[in-house]
Each structure stands twice: as structure tokens, then as C-alpha cells.
Structure 1
């Protein structure tokens, strides 16, 4: 008996009756959900007959078969277990070690991501790839292809994105944190290559609200800012989040189940720039494997973390909850973990 994924089965069903449908598949280590949502948001401005879903939460099986665009987030697991799923456009947001507790090794993880891009290229489609990730992928047969389109931060000038002869103005607030820049760039390049006008893309980006638990400012209370980044379930995502607070006084919170990643860059970042680092859950065992300084404080749960925060927080501090681990040691998912953090902010 052959097995497939819900995503692949639904894609095949839609393509049988709607061959002109354009599928955009978004994968990568971080930023998949935001990029999927933003591309979908832009396309809906241009064409209401657009579906947004996949691994982001709404299964493709729930989509109507008569739409023009299908924007789907695709996980490495969905790519691994699919044999034929081939979007017309594949987008790779970035690459960094992740899911190494499941994939055989780092090469296996990267190659799984590359397989989606290769299917698109072999079928005559277009790939949009973060320039930093190109050399990590085995795409040698297509390296010179004009259908490989790259994006990079050198496309940003002030609050403008410049790509070829196109120019898009972006609200300054959207560029305040590095963690969102790749998502905006990937979305702008993808939709420009679909023929969407600069004006539509500009309006859509500037009206977009970032997803919950992605470095979200929850509240400013008693002079302290509380940021919820519960979606940061790997080292790469958490490192980028904390890096964006350099030059500001912040307290970091780590937790969750590690994914067999090297924590060295994250630990060194926090040792150098954080005011304090609170750690709870399964992450404690992993963090204690590394050389630490007195900034690292270990607690049993998030309630204990907040009790300690009430003692050390000062006006001007930023409390940043970017865990760097999966939530399943203490929570059902990262959303439940994020909700718990928000509730404790309200009570503090």
C-alpha cells in the first residue's frame, strides 16, 4: 500500500480539476509561517481567489478546487513523505540546523529542503531562495538557471526594497527587527515575479500584522517591555531574536526540548549581551553542558521565572521569551506556551 501526505493528496486532487492553479510552496528553517501568511496577504489584495494554509494550520484539503493561487507552508516532514508534490514556485526562507533529533544528520535535513526546490526546477517552475542558503544546497545542475531567484538584505535601502527595476516602500516598523526582514524580502520577490504590482505589494505589506508569538510585543508594564517569541523552537530563530536586542537591556528566557543543535552561538550571544538568562524545563540539562557565567539562572517553571523577574526587572528592561526548544516538555504546543507567558505578563 502506498502512503502519502494530506498535502500531496490534496494537491493532486486540485490539479486534476484545476490545472491552471498556481501553487506557491514555502519552506525553510524559520520564517515559513510569516512568509506564507504575508505572500497570501499580498495575493489576496490582488486576487481574492487565494488559499493560504498547509503546515501553517489550515489543511489544503479544506481549500476549494476552483481558486487561482494556493499558498502553502511545507515542513521538512511533508517534503520527506511526499513523492510528487511540485509547486509552480518554491520559496526557501533560510537554512540552519533544526530537527536533528529526527533527520539522520544536517545534510539529510538540508537535502530534504532542497528536494522541494529541485522538483519545482525540474518541472520548469521558479525558486526563490535566500542568498545565504544557496551554497548549502545541492542545486549544481541548476546553478546558472534564471529560474533560481535569490534575495538578500542588500536589497534594502532605508525603508525601501529594491529588486531589478522595482521599488517598494515599507513601513519602518516592519524593518525594526531583523527577524522579519527575510520574510518581507522573500514575499516581495515572490509576488513581484508573479506579476503583482509594486503598489499592491506596498499596500499589502504595510497593512500586514505579524503572526502571534513571533517576537510579539505583548505589553509595556511599569516601564518593562514583554516580548513573546514562543514560536522560536530552535537555536537559529532564538539567536536572531536575541541578536536584534543588542544595545538594549534585556532578560532572556530559554525553555523546551532541545533539537540536538549546537547552542554555542546562542550561549555566547547571551553571555555577552543579556542582563540575565532564565532557563527552565528540559533545556536546563542542555544549557548546563556549556561554559556559563553568573547571568544564567535556573528555575522549575515559568511561574518561578516571573517571580524572579519581579525582583530584578527595572524601568527600561526588555523581557524576551524566545525559548530555542520545542514546547512538548511542559506544553501541548508553542501556542499554549505563548498563552501561558501572556497570562503571566497580565498577572505580573
Structure 2
């Protein structure tokens, strides 16, 4: 039986452990003995992902990520009514530690109740928030599963990610020419001015129901009285429509080339990388049928909807692992207003328990 008090305590303990992307070791060390206590064989791959394996045929992969976004240091969770919240100065860390806590409680309850169940393999990844880096570097020779449930969606557990976009990150470096801004500015070539010209020609925000574009980083200049010689900016675009995605890429590259023609004495370099690929959920996949049937037996109607985000599920699919991404009870993720609804968290743990024990 799911122990609500233990679940909430486990979640709060997890979010108190700082684990911004690339700094997940402390939370990994917290989870490893807990997984071993459940009888799983725990290993790390070369990237530091935690992989816990239970012996048996046809295992089910349960996955969540260990890292959080900033501001995520010194989180102080508190329970107010039926919600867990932060103190308002940081995120809560429900993304994705609510998923981690639900997996752990689901498995603990199965072991305690001595329930027959399908063998599991648990994967807790690093660096999901900075481009699914942990999953992309996962040692697939250690993975024995062909199906997975990824606990990394927004809202209650019955909110299923029906589709996800392709995501491109880009970084642009502009090199101009420095000069004293008060004595001989005409000898300078402002890298900041060139960068802002580029940014002003690019789209921004929501472009349609399937596509977004964002410039989220910019840095340039060294002192107030110098024409800036170097500026960098970075951003992303994503779309669930392949044609729109290609058009956005073309627009970015065309804008950069046109700017090079206008500022021939400047150097403009770009670095583009596709971080994950789009997918459309197939309702006839066996893992989707299993998840929706379990939800139905729990009295919840599956709510399949598109997402503008990516998860480790995108990477799993590229590597031949059919999966379903379910809600983990967190809301307003990536903000200081993030909160976890406790009844939803309990249902997420119950779903984990029941999807593993179904048919056994």
C-alpha cells in the first residue's frame, strides 16, 4: 500500500538536495543505497547515470531525471494544505523529483506487500534539463528493456504526452572591432549592435500551435567606454511540424548570411545542434495500452495532449524503446511558483505500483 506520509517525506528530502544540471552526484548517492535496499543491482554508466536492475525476463523501464533547473539551490519545501511548495525564492524541484519519489514509493510498496510484479529496470538520468544530455549519453548496452514509463510530465499522472517537438539549440558569436567610445568611436565596429540587428530580424515567442522560437542568452562588451568587440547570444527553436522546423532553420541561417553581407568587416559564426527529435504517440503501442488501462482501473480518464517540451522519452524512442511519458503531479514547473499536489503525487506512486504489478 502506498504510504502517503513516507512519500511526501521522501519527496521533501529529495528536493532539499541541490542537484542543478551537471551537479547531480549528491542526489545519486542518496538514491543508490535506497535502490540497493530494494534488492536492485545498481550500476553507473560512464556519464554517471544511475541504472538499477532487477533480474528477470521482459523488464519494464521506469525513468526520471535527477537534475533540476535554477534557481534550485537551498530549496525549502513546506506543506500547505494539499500542496508542497517552496518558499518562493527557488523552484520546488518537483520536475523531476516528484517522478523520482513516485517511482521509489511505488517500488517500496511492492516490496513491502510482497506483490508479484514484472521485473523492472530503473534509470535516473543526469542533465535532462540542458538538452537530454544524460539520456543521450546512456550506455545502451546496460539497458535490457524494450518498453518504458517516463515520469516527467506536467500535471497529474493521467496527463500523457501525445507528441513532442524537434528541438534545435543555436549559439552565435559576433566579432567586431574595439575602439575608445569617447575618443574615436568611428574606428570601432560594435558587436552588440550587429547582434541586436540579427535578433531583431528573428521571430520570438509562440509562432503557432506547434512552434516556438526564443533567444534566451546574450553577453557582450567588457567596459562602458569601449566599442564592444565581442558578443555572443544563444537560443532555441522547436516545432512538432517538420516543414516549419526546416523553415525556421533556414530563416536563422539566411538572417546570419544577410547580416554578414551588411557588416563585411565583422565575423559571425554559428553553432547549431538538434538536441532531440519529434515523435507522435501511437495509441496502439502495447506500453500505451498498458498505461491507459491501468489509469482506467484507477478511475482516471487518460488525457493525451501535445507538449512543447522534450523528455528522455524522445531519446528512448530514437534507441528503440517504446515509452509513455506521464504526469508526475508537479505544476508551474521551472518557476518559483511551482507546486506539487499531494493527492496527485499519491496517484502517481499508485500508478507506478499498478503498472508494474499489472497482470502478475
TM-score range for the pair, normalised by the shorter chain length = under 0.3
TM-score, reference length from structure 2: 0.26
More helix by share: 1
Bigger RCO (CA 8 Å, 6+ sep): 2
TM-score, reference length from structure 1: 0.26
More strand by share: 2
